Structure 1
């Protein structure tokens, strides 16, 4: 088995790998960078796969790749799956090769949760949605078939349903809530959110979990846990991800809802770091958490890259996340959970701020069609111990 050495080795080929390579280059112009990716594409901008590529004619495919290799000189090994990490030996096995490293970054992200259906179509009519290849397959299906079922009412599921219906595909959205978005939005706002989908023509099947079913070349039959059935020509899962911590666990690293890292993103073994969806890190404002959104991937990847190259800097950024459907854009910082107390501050019928409180302390801020206010939201979280409810109304405009 051949061994290849890199000064910096990154396991995972997503947006974290791109920004980490760039972060390394800010401090080290010449150190060798290797990226092991089980994807078929070099790093690309992932949010576009469920947003702009469907709704913005001017956002074309050539804007999706990030140009990681050209810009940083990283050696990107595609279709390469890491199978073992040996921290003591500073080695990673991948397929039939061993890679040795000076510093290692684990950026394995997650795998999409599959549907509990029997798939006789070999993935032709039953898709998960995570990669650019998944986007291309769903895009091709959208041209071929009349009706697609989307399962899951979270970020990916709602964005995919919006994308499909706006591209003239008959769309049915199956989700477990009573109202779309009711796990995160206050009740009246969830009703407004669901109405956007209904008005666009999405058929919504609420309060239902897919318990079984089968998919073949002719289409999909989904069995719901209440005994009902949903039929479509194809089905796509938007059920989120299972965090890919297997390699880290097998390597003996501390794992607790993600690879456990310190403020400098160091894992529990020398010269090993983790960042992105897979990392459980201590947020400066919100405590230990794991964040599955692009702002965190970009900022944490860059911070990890700089630290791989010796910066020894704490990661102090509190990330935001966002979604855009049917002309509305919402952004959020912190925890959005509709079971918490909320204070709503509506600027007008279409724009407003919702604060989420846990024991009278703000733990999350939702910005509904409110732009350029993320730093203001972060300052609310930073000052949450001293703010009263009366301080919140009118604070962000």
Structure 2
């Protein structure tokens, strides 16, 4: 039986960060990465952002270079099961022994009664990007279903590349459940000004694709036609392996502050992990900042580093050149306090439940090179009831 000291199940950004974290403490032991994706680890955010909008960011810049760690990377491989007692994992019919195992299985796109196909893309992977990019060359009529991060980013990307875009959302306004009314209106205007048709208060029930296009049927019986349909409906965490192995699962694989699961030699990180955030409490977060930081921490923990994972991640989105970031809970039904450095352009929105801040939105934080604003947001969340609403209104971080 082949043995690897460290086995990583999943070959995404978490796996890349974990392999690099392992190598910080153990430069020599064997590392195996097993992924069902046909590509080696790559930077996922670029798939809906830079690859569409920045000509200098080409496809060759998407891979993360995980092979430089010396890890053996097997792509297109299905992991059938693992046995935490025997410390074995079965993949592609082969049984492999491990010393420590990391579950970095991510999530799978939520689907409708509409199979993926040539004209129907549930957008998630690098392969999905290449497929959609080829379709977009003909500047087709595209219906994008879903108004969250992926849906809005893809709709913006496609219309900026000459496609005729219709964006279907279940709410009466774009991002109305997340942004204060004034910002939600501004956000929606960017799409309308770019030529995106927004269909509100609409849910898709099913669809049918043919060589001529796709016909979508709404829950109230209406139909929408398109050349191409892109769906961004969120993901479901891939917990099957953990459940079948008897690990604790509750909206993700449950881990402790060391990213250990209920089995001491098995760890989990990234989209699939339910972890105890030091500021926000237990939660599962699906954003790139967590993947990088938690992946590295998990890799180090597999080697024996006992440092608790206490980092609270931020998340961000960018459409039409406008960037916004946030930490914590963004819920427009909470009380909000807005503090503006430049009205509607650059400022901070605090989301409060009673007197306690639950989330911080950094509107117009211009780049990944502005950590001070995020640190300021974390400081507020660390002492959520310290500041009065009047003080918060004067405390613009972005």
TM over 0.5: yes
Q: Give me the whole-angstrom Cα distance separating, in 1, the residues matched to 2:139 and 2:191.
A: 20
Counterpart pick for 1:61 among 55, 59, 62: 59
Moved more, 222-231 or 126-135: 222-231
Aligned to 1:388: 388
Report if aligned partners of 1:116, 1:210 keep a CA contact under 8 Å in 2.
no
Q: Out of 234, 254, 259, which is 1:260 matched to?
A: 254
Match of 1:163 among 153, 157, 168: 157
Q: Report the counterpart of residue 298 of structure 1 in structure 2.
A: 292
Q: Equivalents in 2 of 1:191, 1:338: separation in Å?
A: 13
Partner of 1:29: 27
Aligned residue number for residue 97 of structure 2: 100
Aligned residues: 391
Does structure 2 retain, via aligned residues, the 8 Å contact 1:174–1:204? yes
- Residue 243 (structure 1) shift: 0.7
Deviation at 1:347, TM superposition (A): 1.9
Helix, strand or coil at the partner of 1:291: coil
> Aligned with 2:112: secondary structure?
coil
Where in structure 2 are the equivalents of 1:139-178 lying within 5 Å? Answer: 139-178=133-172
2:38 match? 40
Q: TM-score, normalised by structure 1?
A: 0.97
In the alignment, which residue of structure 2 is the partner of 1:307? 301
Cα distance per residue 1:204-261 (max 9 Å; x no partner): 1111000112111211101111222111001011101111001100100000010000
TM-score (norm 2): 0.97
RMSD: 1.0
Q: Secondary structure at the match of 2:342?
A: coil
Structure 2 residue aligned with 1:112, among 85, 109, 112? Answer: 109
Distance in 1 (alpha carbons) for counterparts of 2:140 and 2:395: 47
Q: Which residue of 2 aligns with 1:84?
A: 81
Question: 43, 48, 70: which is aligned to 1:73?
Answer: 70
Q: Does 1:135 align with 2:116?
A: no
Residues 139 and 164 in structure 2, CA contact (< 8 A), matched pair in contact too: no
- 1:200-279 residue pairs with structure 2 within 5 A? 200-279=194-273
Between the aligned partners of 2:27 and 2:314, the Cα distance in structure 1 is 30
Give the drift of 1:319.
Answer: 0.1
2:339–2:395 Cα contact (<8 Å) kept: no
Deviation digits for residues 175-201 of structure 1 (CA, Å, limit 9, x no counterpart) = 101100011001111111111000000
CA contact (8 A) 1:209 1:224 kept: yes
Indicate the SS of the match to 1:263: coil
Q: Is the 8 A contact 2:49 2:153 kept in 1?
A: yes
Q: Equivalent residue for 1:52?
A: 50
**Match runs of 1:321-360 below 5 Å:** 321-349=315-343, 350-360=345-355
Specify which of 358, 366, 376 is matched with residue 361 of structure 2.
366
Give 1:12-27 correspondences, 5 Å limit.
Answer: 12-27=10-25
- Is the contact between residue 377 and residue 396 of structure 1 (CA under 8 Å) also seen in structure 2? no
Please give the secondary structure, in 2, of the residue aligned with 1:347: strand
Shift of 1:115: 2.6
Asked if structure 1 preserves the Cα contact closer than 8 Å seen for 2:297 and 2:309, the reply is: yes
1:184 aligned to 165, 178, 184, which one? 178
Counterpart secondary structure, 2:14: helix
Specify every segment of 5 or more residues in structure 1 that has no aligned partner in the other structure, as ranges.
none
Q: How far apart, CA to CA, are the structure 1 residues paired with 2:264 and 2:129?
A: 38
- Kept in 2, the 8 Å contact 1:9–1:105? The answer is yes
Give unpaired runs (5+ residues) of structure 2: none
Kept in 1, the 8 Å contact 2:326–2:362? The answer is yes
The equivalent position to 2:192 in structure 1, one of 198, 223, 239, is 198
Contact preservation (8 Å) 1:353, 1:370: no
